[in-house]
Amino acid sequence: MTIRVPRQVDHKARRDHITEALLDIVAQRGLEAISLRTVAEQAGVSIGRIQHYFASKDDLLAYAIEYQDWLIQQRWNQQSWPEGDPTPRQALRWLMLQMIPDSSQRRREWLVGVAYLIRMIDSPKLRALYIEGLPRLLDLLAGLIRTAQETGDIAPERDPAREAELLFGIADSQGPPVVLGLRTPQQATETIDYYLDHLFR
Amino acid sequence: MTIRVPRQVDHKARRDHITEALLDIVAQRGLEAISLRTVAEQAGVSIGRIQHYFASKDDLLAYAIEYQDWLIQQRWNQQSWPEGDPTPRQALRWLMLQMIPDSSQRRREWLVGVAYLIRMIDSPKLRALYIEGLPRLLDLLAGLIRTAQETGDIAPERDPAREAELLFGIADSQGPPVVLGLRTPQQATETIDYYLDHLFR
DNA sequence: GACGTTACAATATGATCGTATTGCTACCTG
DNA sequence: CAGGTAGCAATACGATCATATTGTAACGTC
């Protein structure tokens, strides 16, 4: 039997290295600045190498958001929650703070998401990332709200689904002012805490 | 028969016609799709004409957001408020609904705003449109909240500035789900009304 | 009615674009 | 160790790009 010899080069690693360069450019200068030449230069590789690992520019662009989506999933799965067994309020707060672009990593993710947004409208594949991801997050938030209602920490007349939308919206809307430097991540956090203070009692 | 080419031409009308074509393309295919050729084709004019009215592509791009900003100002100034003398709640609701991209006009404005966002980071001129516009709107919202507090319609312990941020955030965050078809403008309105129901009493 | 200027259209230019092609080398398989 | 193939680099190619240049017709002014 022939032993499966590992590939000479790590295919995924090469693709990801190129993709990292692309995402950096997109976050700094937008999709318009993407060309095989600019990506090759940013990645420090030849155009030939990019062509070897990606069938076309479109293929590269498509892989890039999938890669970013994968990156985000990885982070959510790996990052530990605030404390071992957080209260609903702590969990909600933590989830909302995750949405603030307060690190270079999250800032890049946020900007790339914005850059791809117009493309999402006409691309079913891109849209799916949003269409499927958002309800999942909203369900998560609504579940935590329901739990807090059971323990009496949130008034029972609050609608969990609506409240989840509000929480998401409040956190989501911090993106532009934070990225544009109008508000600090600290100030965004204060606004989030202000609302949580009113939601919980 | 000789074609009559009027010597005196409405400069602004020509520039605006070209700019309209550009904004349509940006909203549909993003800034990457902008070239003098695509704009000329969309506008139904020659490249030479565009060059005659704009010194460069950058000049055209810069004029386009200024033009859109002017368009928005015009609409805000001309559009009449809900009723002759609206209550603070009616005014707040109306302002928030104005932010939902529920017409092709507002949808285009929203998408163009998104397309230009990354450019805003490094361009002081573009940033100014956001940096100056947002606080003005927040002040307007906070003022209405304060008025409602004086009449007892909003609890006095609410912080007008914070509440203004929340109202803006809630309305602003409706943009992506509405544009991407995940939520209807009607549903976005319901979420806004839900929050107003809790803010007012 | 000559003259200058405005308002373009048409075309030229050189850079940059995505992609195709070619060539070479190192390694894996037989 | 012969042959094939993966993994590129280099370059060629035609399209498209922003911009510069040139040409021309229609007016306003005199």
B55-110 pLDDT, tens per residue? 999 999 999 999 999 999 999 888 767 667 899 999 999 999 999 999 999 999 99
CA distance A66 to A54: 14
CA distance B83 to A157: 31
CA distance A41 to A19: 12
A169 torsion bin: left (phi>0), alpha (psi -120 to 50), beta (else): alpha
- CA trace torsion A76, B195, B113, B30 (10° rounding): 60
Strand pairing partners for A154?
A: A200
Cβ–Cβ below 8 Å for B172 and A177: no
Kindly provide the b/e burial profile for residues A12-26, where b requires at least 16 CB atoms within 10 angstroms of the residue's own CB.
Answer: eebbbebbbbbbbbb
Residue type, A25: I
pLDDT digit string, tens, across residues A116-170? 999 999 999 999 999 999 999 999 999 999 999 999 999 999 999 999 999 999 9
pTM of the model: 0.93
Whether A93 and A193 have beta carbons less than 8 Å apart is answered as yes
Taking CB atoms and an 8 Å cutoff, what residues of chain B touch A176?
Answer: 117, 130, 172
Residue type, A69: D
Kindly provide the b/e burial profile for residues B23-39, where b requires at least 16 CB atoms within 10 angstroms of the residue's own CB.
Answer: bbbbbebbbbbbebeeb
pLDDT digit string, tens, across residues A59-113? 999 999 999 999 999 998 887 676 678 999 999 999 999 999 999 999 999 999 9
Q: Which nucleotides of D are covered by protein (CB under 7 A)?
A: 6-11, 16-21, 25-28
Tokens of A56: 């076309």
Q: What is the pLDDT of residue A142?
A: 98
CB pairs under 8 A between A and B: 96
Cβ–Cβ below 8 Å for B180 and A121: yes
Residue type, A68: Q
CA-to-C1' span, A63 to C26 (A): 29
Cβ–Cβ below 8 Å for B169 and A173: yes
pLDDT digit string, tens, across residues B152-189? 999 999 999 999 999 999 999 999 999 999 999 999 99
CA distance B87 to B154: 12
Backbone angles phi, psi at B134, to 5 degrees: -60, -50
Q: Determine whether the distance from the CB of A48 to the nearest atom of strand C is below 7 Å.
A: yes
Best residue of B24, B132, B198 to probe chain A, by most A CBs closer than 10 Å: B198
Q: Which of residues 1-30 of A touch strand C (CB under 7 A)?
A: 2, 5, 8
